[in-house]
Structure 1
């Protein structure tokens, strides 16, 4: 079976989805390895040390072939130009995508990083990756929505698993609260997942949103078309 990569717009609840994949216990799970590689200059996966995106892809494919299936979650606030130039990403990997309605994702992102650039909100680049995968493979990749995930957790995860060749494990939908070594360096971004024991919809917090902040209104207007294009393909 091919390794699975979940490309996600930031603040789409993708870490909660990764937490489910961790709880399964049958996957080698990597949290944002390509992002960490860009920031730190290196990433180690199951003992394989990589200092470039291509070396990291080598490691993912090697671990997947010789040990156990790999699941990677990464985000679209960084650019992965050299990686997208490697055809193995399209032919030897199952690329999947996660979105969330822009008002919610953008508000949450701004609350964590008010200096984020337009590109870092990630919808446009996520659409670029999706389009590249679709163009090379001739197939429409799997897309899930973070709002659907919290509204219908089991149905969404089960549908995803069916599409990527995983068995559905209902016991993985719940876990013990706590931080994970996978995301230790970026703990502050994952506090809600660390404090949770499952997927639960929460009431919106009082924060700046595109409805009350002109800057975020412009950000949302820019990214909405890319969300809409991806949302047309989401699992329902």
Structure 2
């Protein structure tokens, strides 16, 4: 296996987790890092192996949307090839992507039993319909491929992330995003937890307590395999401390200059997801927030009612609550500094 400190860093997350602001921190290290922005979304939404139903179908609108994206031929293997090419530039690869792009969604036929994406299935065993992964593997990528990455995770309270995502799927913002309606199963928490638990079970990531239980040492490099979960609230409250700890755990050199950048600088890769990243694109740094806004669930509900109406507020409230258990589970592993 490639040494941990040389493997591509894969920050797995869910929509609206402040992940693009987090990503911009590492875009400042262009001499050492090659940053890839949500590459697996190309195959998930648009390509022949797509898992999402958002652009599914043979009707003209769906076909046009896929072709106009420029990614209608993207496969999981072509994405992996892109990652491999990026790693040949003598830079370490940094990937920020959605875990839900690797795990079949709830409305997909393989929801209960994932199959490998055909393009990554060995031709000797591929039967034309996909090959079932072992029951323990819930993703469309073989474990051997997942082991190539050094995983970290970024989470945000669903009562903040879900309404933010809903806003991207309704007028006027959806004219930019192209997401014409809200799909609750795109919240992404279930898939993030599923991926996390699988990687933990297969010891691709390791919790310090499990290492001690198995008699492993806490040597210099063991930290690179340790569970690294960042909560967006912690990141916003203490960006320097969290980023410094993240660098330590992923084998990167921390520089406080990473927390400052030029607005709109080097954001061309965000163009394929217009409307989702405008705040991060226009930002000029990651600084501790000076005001925390605590709201009761009643106050949150009232705000959603005023902004979106009764029916939409109920959908947001229900979707957030449905994902709270997975968020709370992942939060138990969060990095504390």
Residue-by-residue CA offset, 1:159-193 (whole Å, 9 max, x unaligned): 11111111112111111101611111213111101
Aligned to 1:60: 83
Residues 1:108 and 2:204 are matched in the alignment: no
Q: Please state how far the C-alpha of 1:65 moved relative to its aligned partner.
A: 5.5
Q: Secondary structure at the match of 2:275?
A: helix
Task: Pick the aligned partner of 2:96 from 70, 73, 89.
Answer: 73
Partners of 1:97 and 1:116 in 2: CA distance: 24
Distance 2:99 2:184 in 1: 12
Name 1:18's counterpart in structure 2.
23
Q: How far has the Cα of 1:207 moved from its partner?
A: 5.3
Q: Does the 8 Å CA contact 2:12/2:97 hold for their aligned counterparts?
A: yes
Check the 8 A contact 1:12/1:105 in 2, yes or no: yes
Q: Who is 1:3 aligned against?
A: 8
Whose helix fraction is larger, Structure 1's or Structure 2's? 1
Unaligned runs of 5+ in 2: 1-5, 49-72, 104-113, 118-138, 171-180, 208-226, 294-299
Counterpart for residue 213 of structure 2: none
Distance 1:116 1:169 in 2: 39
How far residue 93 of structure 1 moved from its aligned partner, in angstroms, is: 0.8
Q: Higher strand fraction: Structure 1 or Structure 2?
A: 1
2:320 is aligned with 1:220 = yes
The count of corresponding residues between Structure 1 and Structure 2 is: 228
Tell me how far apart the structure 2 counterparts of residues 76 and 134 of structure 1 sit (CA, whole Å).
15
Question: In angstroms, what is the RMSD of aligned CA positions?
Answer: 2.6
Q: Is residue 32 of structure 1 aligned with residue 118 of structure 2?
A: no
Equivalences for residues 1-236 of structure 1 within 5 A: 1-25=6-30, 26-41=32-47, 51-64=74-87, 67-80=90-103, 82=116, 84=139, 85-114=141-170, 115-137=181-203, 139-140=206-207, 141-178=227-264, 180-200=267-287, 201=289, 208=304, 213-236=313-336
1:66 to partner: Cα distance? 5.8
Q: Any conservation in 2 of the 1:10–1:77 contact (CA below 8 Å)?
A: no
TM-score of the two chains, using structure 2 as the length reference = 0.62
SS for the counterpart of 1:137 is coil
TM-score by length of 1: 0.86
Q: Is the 8 A contact 1:54 1:86 kept in 2?
A: no
Q: Is the 8 A contact 2:19 2:96 kept in 1?
A: yes
Distance in 2, Cα, partners of 1:7 & 1:89 = 15
Instruction: Show structure 1 runs of 4+ deviating over 6 A.
Output: 202-206
